[in-house]
Amino acid sequence: MKSKSILIVDDNDLNRKLFENLISQSWYCETARNGLEALEKLKYQSFDLILMDIQMPELDGISAMKLIRSHELADCPIIAITAYADESDRETFLSQGFDEFMVKPIRPREFLNLIQNTLDSKNLPEEESEEKTLQKNILDREVFEQLTKYNNPEMIKQVYLDFLQECDQLIKKSKIAYESKNLEDLSNSIHILKGNSGTLGANRIFLAAQTLELSGRKGSLEEIPKQLNQLEEEIQSFKQYLNQATIFEL
């Protein structure tokens, strides 16, 4: 299992593919085309390391790094990568807030060693509970990797789209069941949704469905409307994540 995850932020298609090919041998990675895409991705996923190009359209690497720090979007090292500097500029980038610095064109062995050393030197926080990890990551990357490893990516993409359509149908059924005070039907519908979200690694949907199902089984009528709303919000967040993510660009 690839235990570390890296976000590659670079507007150059060739660079992204090169970095991804090098990194994916040892670590899980995702990509973003500019600083804005990176900020959006960090709303839904946590990473152990960010590789940040400096010269990018829409939002450059320095501005993106400062926003990540000021908004506490990620608690991980950020490495600056640029072709418009040399080793003498290293201290300048570190003083800006980056943790490390590398000049393009990269040398693969040095590049991978820098990533490994940065990951090794990172002060790891106290191990999080499983539930906190699920809450942080909207999609379980290990589950997704396993699904795409043994199946056609286009087919898996359709599975996720079918899942979201089913979510909408099950939410409608659950609302009707609640209005008629039929908590058994509500719990059964949410149980299906919970099971499928767990199978596909939709972490936050799974947790919200788990809470709602428990309330249905216990007959906690007063809690259900709020929990239904929370579940709908998580489904919408998951839809937005799939719309903006590059995970299906395999």
Say whether pLDDT at 125 is over 60. no
Q: Which of 125, 154, 171 is the last residue of a domain?
A: 125
What is the percentage of the chain residues whose pLDDT exceeds 70? 90
Q: Are residue 232 and residue 162 in the same domain, yes or no?
A: yes
CA 160 to chain centre: 15
Indicate whether 189 and 226 sit together in one domain: yes
Distances (CA, A) of 41 to 128, 186, 237: 21, 33, 12
| pLDDT of the residue at 136 | 58
**Are residue 109 and residue 12 in the same domain, yes or no?**
yes
Q: Which domain holds residue 120?
A: 5-125
The structure tokens 């216990």 sit at: 218
CATH of the domain at 202: 1.20.120.160
Where does the pLDDT of residue 123 fall: very low under 50, low under 70, confident under 90, or very high at 90 and above? low
Residue 90 CA from chain centroid, whole number? 30
- 198, 167 contact by CB (below 8 A): no
The CATH number for 92's domain is 3.40.50.2300
Domain count, the chain: 2
Confidence band for 74, pLDDT divided at 50, 70 and 90: confident
90 found inside a domain: yes
